[in-house]
Amino acid sequence: MASIEYREIEGRSAGFYGLLGVLALVIAAGLAAAWAMEHQGHVITGMTNRIVWGTPHVFAVFLIVAASGALNVASVASVFGRERYQPLARLSGLLAVALLAGGLAVLVLDLGRPERLVVAMTHYNFKSIFAWNIFLYTGFFAVVALYLWTMFERRMNGYSGRAGMLAFLWRLVLTTGTGSIFGFLVAREPYDSALLAPLFIVMSFSLGTAAFVLVLMAACRWSGRPLGDALLARLGSLLGIFVAAVLYFVAVHHLTNLYIARRLDLERFLLWDGGVHTALFWIGQVLAGSVVPLALIFAVRTRAALAAAAACVIAGGLAQLYVLIIGGQAYPQQIFPGKDVSSSFFDGVVASYAPSLPEAALGAGGVALALALTVVGLKLLPFLPRSLADGEPAEA
Protein backbone atom coordinates (compact mmCIF):
# COMPACT_ATOMS: atom_id res chain seq x y z
CA MET A 1 0.00 0.00 0.00
CA ALA A 2 1.21 3.51 -0.73
CA SER A 3 2.36 5.54 2.23
CA ILE A 4 -0.43 7.25 4.10
CA GLU A 5 -0.27 10.88 5.09
CA TYR A 6 -1.87 11.59 8.44
CA ARG A 7 -2.65 15.09 9.62
CA GLU A 8 -4.07 16.57 12.81
CA ILE A 9 -7.28 18.51 12.45
CA GLU A 10 -6.74 22.28 12.65
CA GLY A 11 -9.30 22.91 15.36
CA ARG A 12 -9.30 26.68 15.06
CA SER A 13 -12.86 27.34 13.94
CA ALA A 14 -15.71 28.62 16.06
CA GLY A 15 -17.52 25.35 15.44
CA PHE A 16 -14.64 23.35 16.92
CA TYR A 17 -14.55 25.40 20.11
CA GLY A 18 -18.33 25.42 20.21
CA LEU A 19 -18.36 21.63 20.09
CA LEU A 20 -15.80 21.41 22.90
CA GLY A 21 -17.84 23.94 24.88
CA VAL A 22 -21.03 21.90 24.57
CA LEU A 23 -19.21 18.71 25.54
CA ALA A 24 -17.61 20.50 28.51
CA LEU A 25 -21.05 21.63 29.71
CA VAL A 26 -22.40 18.06 29.53
CA ILE A 27 -19.34 16.77 31.39
CA ALA A 28 -19.84 19.46 34.04
CA ALA A 29 -23.48 18.42 34.38
CA GLY A 30 -22.37 14.81 34.87
CA LEU A 31 -19.86 15.84 37.56
CA ALA A 32 -22.54 17.95 39.27
CA ALA A 33 -24.89 14.94 39.24
CA ALA A 34 -22.19 12.73 40.76
CA TRP A 35 -21.51 15.36 43.44
CA ALA A 36 -25.23 15.59 44.24
CA MET A 37 -25.58 11.82 44.54
CA GLU A 38 -22.45 11.65 46.68
CA HIS A 39 -23.63 14.31 49.16
CA GLN A 40 -27.39 13.70 49.20
CA GLY A 41 -27.27 9.96 48.71
CA HIS A 42 -28.78 7.72 46.07
CA VAL A 43 -32.19 8.52 47.49
CA ILE A 44 -32.38 11.31 44.86
CA THR A 45 -32.13 8.68 42.13
CA GLY A 46 -34.57 6.03 41.01
CA MET A 47 -32.39 3.31 42.48
CA THR A 48 -33.46 1.30 45.52
CA ASN A 49 -32.17 -1.64 47.51
CA ARG A 50 -33.73 -3.83 44.80
CA ILE A 51 -32.53 -1.87 41.74
CA VAL A 52 -28.93 -1.12 42.70
CA TRP A 53 -27.60 -0.75 39.15
CA GLY A 54 -29.44 2.08 37.48
CA THR A 55 -29.21 4.12 34.28
CA PRO A 56 -25.55 5.13 34.88
CA HIS A 57 -24.61 1.47 34.73
CA VAL A 58 -26.45 1.14 31.42
CA PHE A 59 -24.32 3.95 29.98
CA ALA A 60 -21.14 2.64 31.60
CA VAL A 61 -21.55 -0.90 30.27
CA PHE A 62 -22.54 0.49 26.87
CA LEU A 63 -19.36 2.58 26.65
CA ILE A 64 -17.13 -0.26 27.87
CA VAL A 65 -18.62 -2.76 25.43
CA ALA A 66 -18.48 -0.23 22.56
CA ALA A 67 -14.82 0.51 23.42
CA SER A 68 -13.92 -3.11 22.72
CA GLY A 69 -15.84 -3.09 19.44
CA ALA A 70 -14.41 0.26 18.31
CA LEU A 71 -11.11 -1.57 17.82
CA ASN A 72 -12.77 -3.72 15.12
CA VAL A 73 -11.44 -1.71 12.20
CA ALA A 74 -7.85 -1.81 13.45
CA SER A 75 -8.17 -5.56 14.05
CA VAL A 76 -9.50 -6.15 10.54
CA ALA A 77 -6.48 -4.30 9.15
CA SER A 78 -3.69 -5.72 11.34
CA VAL A 79 -4.95 -9.17 12.31
CA PHE A 80 -6.88 -10.20 9.20
CA GLY A 81 -4.62 -8.43 6.70
CA ARG A 82 -7.26 -6.21 5.05
CA GLU A 83 -4.96 -3.32 4.14
CA ARG A 84 -7.78 -1.13 2.82
CA TYR A 85 -8.78 -0.57 6.46
CA GLN A 86 -5.24 0.34 7.56
CA PRO A 87 -5.76 4.14 7.19
CA LEU A 88 -8.53 3.90 9.81
CA ALA A 89 -6.58 1.90 12.39
CA ARG A 90 -5.25 4.88 14.35
CA LEU A 91 -8.69 6.44 14.74
CA SER A 92 -10.03 3.04 15.78
CA GLY A 93 -7.49 2.82 18.63
CA LEU A 94 -8.16 6.39 19.77
CA LEU A 95 -11.91 5.87 19.92
CA ALA A 96 -11.49 2.58 21.83
CA VAL A 97 -9.41 4.25 24.55
CA ALA A 98 -11.75 7.27 24.75
CA LEU A 99 -14.91 5.16 25.07
CA LEU A 100 -13.38 3.00 27.78
CA ALA A 101 -12.28 6.09 29.72
CA GLY A 102 -15.81 7.52 29.53
CA GLY A 103 -17.38 4.25 30.66
CA LEU A 104 -15.03 3.77 33.60
CA ALA A 105 -15.56 7.39 34.68
CA VAL A 106 -19.31 6.78 34.93
CA LEU A 107 -18.76 3.47 36.69
CA VAL A 108 -16.46 4.96 39.33
CA LEU A 109 -18.65 8.00 39.99
CA ASP A 110 -21.76 5.84 40.35
CA LEU A 111 -20.26 3.66 43.11
CA GLY A 112 -21.49 5.97 45.87
CA ARG A 113 -18.05 5.92 47.51
CA PRO A 114 -15.64 6.43 44.60
CA GLU A 115 -12.69 7.00 46.94
CA ARG A 116 -12.96 3.36 48.00
CA LEU A 117 -11.82 2.36 44.53
CA VAL A 118 -8.33 2.33 46.04
CA VAL A 119 -9.43 -0.55 48.26
CA ALA A 120 -10.65 -2.51 45.23
CA MET A 121 -7.32 -1.89 43.49
CA THR A 122 -5.16 -2.99 46.44
CA HIS A 123 -7.16 -5.85 47.98
CA TYR A 124 -8.24 -8.51 45.49
CA ASN A 125 -10.77 -11.27 45.79
CA PHE A 126 -9.99 -13.43 42.79
CA LYS A 127 -13.26 -15.30 43.18
CA SER A 128 -14.95 -12.05 42.09
CA ILE A 129 -15.28 -11.25 38.40
CA PHE A 130 -15.08 -7.57 39.36
CA ALA A 131 -11.50 -8.07 40.55
CA TRP A 132 -10.59 -9.68 37.23
CA ASN A 133 -12.03 -6.76 35.31
CA ILE A 134 -9.76 -4.24 37.05
CA PHE A 135 -6.83 -5.96 35.35
CA LEU A 136 -8.70 -6.32 32.06
CA TYR A 137 -9.66 -2.62 31.86
CA THR A 138 -6.27 -1.21 32.86
CA GLY A 139 -4.55 -3.76 30.64
CA PHE A 140 -6.69 -2.66 27.70
CA PHE A 141 -5.35 0.89 28.02
CA ALA A 142 -1.77 -0.40 28.02
CA VAL A 143 -2.27 -2.83 25.12
CA VAL A 144 -4.00 -0.26 22.88
CA ALA A 145 -1.35 2.34 23.76
CA LEU A 146 1.32 -0.13 22.68
CA TYR A 147 -0.63 -0.87 19.50
CA LEU A 148 -0.90 2.83 18.68
CA TRP A 149 2.83 3.28 19.31
CA THR A 150 3.66 0.62 16.74
CA MET A 151 1.50 2.52 14.24
CA PHE A 152 2.86 5.99 15.02
CA GLU A 153 6.55 5.11 15.27
CA ARG A 154 7.85 4.18 11.83
CA ARG A 155 10.62 2.02 13.28
CA MET A 156 8.02 -0.07 15.12
CA ASN A 157 5.68 -0.61 12.16
CA GLY A 158 6.95 -4.15 11.73
CA TYR A 159 5.55 -5.08 15.14
CA SER A 160 2.09 -3.65 14.42
CA GLY A 161 0.66 -7.02 13.42
CA ARG A 162 1.75 -8.72 16.63
CA ALA A 163 0.54 -5.80 18.75
CA GLY A 164 -2.76 -5.89 16.86
CA MET A 165 -3.16 -9.60 17.57
CA LEU A 166 -2.51 -8.98 21.28
CA ALA A 167 -5.08 -6.16 21.31
CA PHE A 168 -7.60 -8.36 19.47
CA LEU A 169 -7.25 -11.21 21.96
CA TRP A 170 -7.27 -8.86 24.95
CA ARG A 171 -10.49 -7.18 23.91
CA LEU A 172 -12.17 -10.56 23.43
CA VAL A 173 -11.21 -11.49 26.99
CA LEU A 174 -12.27 -8.05 28.27
CA THR A 175 -15.74 -8.30 26.74
CA THR A 176 -16.06 -11.86 27.97
CA GLY A 177 -15.29 -10.57 31.46
CA THR A 178 -17.89 -7.82 31.16
CA GLY A 179 -20.55 -10.28 30.02
CA SER A 180 -19.53 -12.71 32.75
CA ILE A 181 -20.28 -10.07 35.40
CA PHE A 182 -23.90 -10.87 34.67
CA GLY A 183 -23.52 -14.48 33.52
CA PHE A 184 -21.88 -15.49 36.81
CA LEU A 185 -24.72 -14.03 38.94
CA VAL A 186 -26.55 -17.32 39.41
CA ALA A 187 -28.85 -15.81 42.05
CA ARG A 188 -30.47 -13.62 39.38
CA GLU A 189 -32.41 -15.81 36.98
CA PRO A 190 -32.34 -13.30 34.05
CA TYR A 191 -28.53 -13.15 34.28
CA ASP A 192 -27.57 -16.75 34.91
CA SER A 193 -26.55 -17.83 31.39
CA ALA A 194 -23.31 -18.86 29.68
CA LEU A 195 -24.63 -17.25 26.48
CA LEU A 196 -24.14 -13.76 27.89
CA ALA A 197 -20.37 -13.84 27.29
CA PRO A 198 -20.59 -14.49 23.51
CA LEU A 199 -23.62 -12.20 23.31
CA PHE A 200 -21.58 -9.34 24.79
CA ILE A 201 -18.79 -10.04 22.31
CA VAL A 202 -21.05 -9.70 19.26
CA MET A 203 -22.75 -6.70 20.91
CA SER A 204 -19.33 -5.06 21.17
CA PHE A 205 -18.72 -5.65 17.46
CA SER A 206 -22.05 -4.03 16.60
CA LEU A 207 -21.99 -1.08 19.00
CA GLY A 208 -18.30 -0.30 18.46
CA THR A 209 -18.60 -0.34 14.68
CA ALA A 210 -21.68 1.90 14.82
CA ALA A 211 -19.88 4.41 17.05
CA PHE A 212 -16.82 4.32 14.77
CA VAL A 213 -18.90 4.96 11.64
CA LEU A 214 -20.57 8.02 13.18
CA VAL A 215 -17.30 9.45 14.52
CA LEU A 216 -15.53 8.86 11.20
CA MET A 217 -18.30 10.51 9.17
CA ALA A 218 -18.48 13.50 11.54
CA ALA A 219 -14.69 13.94 11.70
CA CYS A 220 -14.27 13.87 7.93
CA ARG A 221 -17.23 16.15 7.31
CA TRP A 222 -16.26 18.77 9.89
CA SER A 223 -12.57 18.75 8.90
CA GLY A 224 -13.33 18.85 5.17
CA ARG A 225 -11.56 15.56 4.37
CA PRO A 226 -12.76 13.34 1.51
CA LEU A 227 -14.48 10.11 2.53
CA GLY A 228 -15.26 7.62 -0.21
CA ASP A 229 -18.60 5.91 -0.67
CA ALA A 230 -16.95 2.54 -1.31
CA LEU A 231 -15.20 2.62 2.07
CA LEU A 232 -18.43 3.54 3.83
CA ALA A 233 -20.24 0.75 1.98
CA ARG A 234 -17.72 -1.79 3.28
CA LEU A 235 -18.10 -0.47 6.82
CA GLY A 236 -21.88 -0.60 6.41
CA SER A 237 -21.77 -4.23 5.31
CA LEU A 238 -19.57 -5.05 8.29
CA LEU A 239 -22.02 -3.31 10.60
CA GLY A 240 -24.96 -5.17 9.06
CA ILE A 241 -23.28 -8.54 9.65
CA PHE A 242 -22.67 -7.67 13.30
CA VAL A 243 -26.26 -6.47 13.81
CA ALA A 244 -27.59 -9.72 12.34
CA ALA A 245 -25.24 -11.70 14.62
CA VAL A 246 -26.54 -9.88 17.69
CA LEU A 247 -30.12 -10.59 16.66
CA TYR A 248 -29.25 -14.26 16.19
CA PHE A 249 -27.65 -14.60 19.64
CA VAL A 250 -30.58 -12.79 21.27
CA ALA A 251 -32.98 -15.22 19.60
CA VAL A 252 -30.90 -18.21 20.73
CA HIS A 253 -30.78 -16.83 24.27
CA HIS A 254 -34.54 -16.46 24.54
CA LEU A 255 -35.31 -19.74 22.76
CA THR A 256 -33.02 -21.52 25.20
CA ASN A 257 -34.90 -19.98 28.13
CA LEU A 258 -38.23 -20.90 26.57
CA TYR A 259 -37.08 -24.50 26.32
CA ILE A 260 -36.38 -24.59 30.08
CA ALA A 261 -39.72 -25.00 31.88
CA ARG A 262 -38.70 -23.15 35.04
CA ARG A 263 -37.81 -20.07 33.01
CA LEU A 264 -41.14 -19.68 31.25
CA ASP A 265 -42.30 -17.07 33.77
CA LEU A 266 -39.11 -15.09 33.17
CA GLU A 267 -39.64 -15.14 29.41
CA ARG A 268 -43.28 -14.18 29.82
CA PHE A 269 -42.11 -11.17 31.84
CA LEU A 270 -39.48 -10.09 29.31
CA LEU A 271 -41.38 -10.82 26.09
CA TRP A 272 -45.02 -10.28 26.98
CA ASP A 273 -46.10 -8.62 30.21
CA GLY A 274 -43.00 -6.79 31.47
CA GLY A 275 -44.38 -3.31 30.75
CA VAL A 276 -41.61 -0.88 29.82
CA HIS A 277 -39.06 -3.71 29.61
CA THR A 278 -41.14 -5.60 27.05
CA ALA A 279 -41.72 -2.40 25.04
CA LEU A 280 -38.01 -1.59 25.03
CA PHE A 281 -37.19 -5.13 23.95
CA TRP A 282 -39.53 -5.29 20.96
CA ILE A 283 -39.58 -1.63 19.89
CA GLY A 284 -36.16 -0.45 21.01
CA GLN A 285 -33.94 -3.49 20.73
CA VAL A 286 -35.51 -5.64 17.99
CA LEU A 287 -37.26 -3.10 15.75
CA ALA A 288 -35.21 0.10 16.08
CA GLY A 289 -31.93 -1.58 16.95
CA SER A 290 -31.95 -4.49 14.50
CA VAL A 291 -34.69 -4.58 11.84
CA VAL A 292 -34.54 -0.91 10.85
CA PRO A 293 -30.70 -0.77 10.63
CA LEU A 294 -30.61 -3.93 8.52
CA ALA A 295 -33.18 -2.45 6.13
CA LEU A 296 -31.30 0.85 5.90
CA ILE A 297 -27.93 -0.84 5.32
CA PHE A 298 -28.90 -3.48 2.77
CA ALA A 299 -31.97 -1.93 1.09
CA VAL A 300 -31.43 1.84 1.02
CA ARG A 301 -27.59 1.92 0.76
CA THR A 302 -26.96 5.67 1.00
CA ARG A 303 -24.62 7.67 3.18
CA ALA A 304 -27.49 9.19 5.14
CA ALA A 305 -29.04 5.74 5.59
CA LEU A 306 -25.78 4.38 7.00
CA ALA A 307 -25.58 7.23 9.52
CA ALA A 308 -29.20 6.65 10.52
CA ALA A 309 -28.58 2.91 10.80
CA ALA A 310 -25.56 3.46 13.06
CA ALA A 311 -27.59 5.81 15.27
CA CYS A 312 -30.39 3.23 15.47
CA VAL A 313 -27.90 0.51 16.45
CA ILE A 314 -26.63 2.67 19.31
CA ALA A 315 -30.18 3.44 20.49
CA GLY A 316 -31.08 -0.23 20.26
CA GLY A 317 -27.95 -1.18 22.19
CA LEU A 318 -28.90 1.16 25.02
CA ALA A 319 -32.40 -0.34 25.05
CA GLN A 320 -30.93 -3.86 25.09
CA LEU A 321 -28.66 -3.10 28.03
CA TYR A 322 -31.51 -1.37 29.89
CA VAL A 323 -33.67 -4.47 29.54
CA LEU A 324 -30.82 -6.73 30.59
CA ILE A 325 -29.50 -4.68 33.53
CA ILE A 326 -32.65 -3.00 34.87
CA GLY A 327 -35.11 -5.68 33.81
CA GLY A 328 -32.85 -8.36 35.24
CA GLN A 329 -33.05 -6.71 38.66
CA ALA A 330 -36.75 -5.86 38.42
CA TYR A 331 -37.73 -9.48 37.93
CA PRO A 332 -38.42 -11.06 41.35
CA GLN A 333 -35.54 -13.04 42.76
CA GLN A 334 -36.38 -16.73 43.12
CA ILE A 335 -35.17 -17.45 46.65
CA PHE A 336 -37.30 -20.58 47.02
CA PRO A 337 -37.79 -22.03 43.50
CA GLY A 338 -41.13 -23.70 42.96
CA LYS A 339 -42.74 -22.03 46.00
CA ASP A 340 -45.11 -19.09 46.28
CA VAL A 341 -43.51 -16.53 48.59
CA SER A 342 -44.96 -13.29 49.93
CA SER A 343 -43.89 -10.98 52.73
CA SER A 344 -43.61 -7.34 53.69
CA PHE A 345 -40.31 -7.23 51.79
CA PHE A 346 -42.05 -7.45 48.39
CA ASP A 347 -41.00 -11.05 47.69
CA GLY A 348 -42.35 -12.15 44.33
CA VAL A 349 -43.21 -8.56 43.32
CA VAL A 350 -41.68 -6.91 40.25
CA ALA A 351 -39.50 -3.97 41.34
CA SER A 352 -40.37 -0.53 40.03
CA TYR A 353 -37.76 1.89 38.72
CA ALA A 354 -37.83 5.28 37.01
CA PRO A 355 -34.57 6.95 35.88
CA SER A 356 -33.86 10.30 37.52
CA LEU A 357 -32.26 13.42 36.06
CA PRO A 358 -28.97 12.98 37.97
CA GLU A 359 -28.62 9.45 36.63
CA ALA A 360 -29.21 10.55 33.03
CA ALA A 361 -26.83 13.50 33.47
CA LEU A 362 -24.06 11.24 34.79
CA GLY A 363 -24.47 8.80 31.91
CA ALA A 364 -24.52 11.58 29.32
CA GLY A 365 -21.42 13.05 30.97
CA GLY A 366 -19.54 9.82 30.31
CA VAL A 367 -20.52 9.88 26.63
CA ALA A 368 -19.46 13.54 26.40
CA LEU A 369 -16.11 12.74 28.04
CA ALA A 370 -15.42 10.00 25.48
CA LEU A 371 -16.28 12.35 22.60
CA ALA A 372 -14.21 15.19 24.08
CA LEU A 373 -11.17 12.93 24.41
CA THR A 374 -11.62 11.87 20.79
CA VAL A 375 -11.90 15.47 19.55
CA VAL A 376 -8.85 16.61 21.53
CA GLY A 377 -6.88 13.57 20.35
CA LEU A 378 -7.66 14.36 16.71
CA LYS A 379 -6.36 17.90 17.21
CA LEU A 380 -3.17 17.00 19.08
CA LEU A 381 -1.96 13.96 17.11
CA PRO A 382 -2.28 12.75 13.49
CA PHE A 383 -4.93 10.07 13.90
CA LEU A 384 -6.88 10.83 10.71
CA PRO A 385 -5.58 10.49 7.11
CA ARG A 386 -5.51 13.52 4.84
CA SER A 387 -7.86 11.77 2.43
CA LEU A 388 -10.04 8.67 2.41
CA ALA A 389 -11.40 9.19 -1.08
CA ASP A 390 -12.11 6.14 -3.24
CA GLY A 391 -9.12 5.22 -5.39
CA GLU A 392 -6.87 7.51 -3.35
CA PRO A 393 -5.77 5.68 -0.18
CA ALA A 394 -4.53 8.88 1.42
CA GLU A 395 -1.22 8.87 -0.49
CA ALA A 396 1.37 11.39 0.59
**pLDDT tier, 262 (very low <50, low <70, confident <90, very high otherwise):** confident
Grouping H, G, I as helix, E, B as strand and the rest as coil, residue 384 is strand
The Cα 223–Cα 220 span in angstroms is 5
The Cα 155–Cα 143 span in angstroms is 18
Q: What is the pLDDT of residue 337?
A: 67
- How far is residue 27 from each of residues 45, 122, 218, 365, measured CA to CA in Å? 19, 29, 20, 4
pLDDT at 229 over 50: yes
Q: What is the pLDDT of residue 226?
A: 92
Range of lowest pLDDT (7-11, 31-35, 231-235, 244-248): 7-11
**pLDDT tier, 184 (very low <50, low <70, confident <90, very high otherwise):** confident
- Tens-digit pLDDT profile for residues 301-360: 899 999 999 999 999 999 999 999 999 999 988 777 667 766 667 667 888 999 999 999
- The mean per-residue pLDDT over the stretch 192-209 comes to 94
What mean pLDDT, rounded, does the chain reach? 90
The Cα 171–Cα 136 span in angstroms is 8
What domains, with CATH codes, occur in the chain? 11-333+351-385 (1.20.1630.10)
In sign, the C-alpha dihedral spanning 74, 203, 24, 304 is positive
Q: What is the pLDDT of residue 392?
A: 58
Number of neighbouring beta carbons within 10 Å of residue 301: 14
CB-CB contact of 324 with 182 (8 Å): yes
Where b means 16+ CB within 10 Å and e means fewer, 136-146 reads: bbeebeebbeb
CB-CB contact of 48 with 330 (8 Å): no
Contacts of 85 (CB under 8 A, 6+ apart): 73, 74, 76, 77, 234
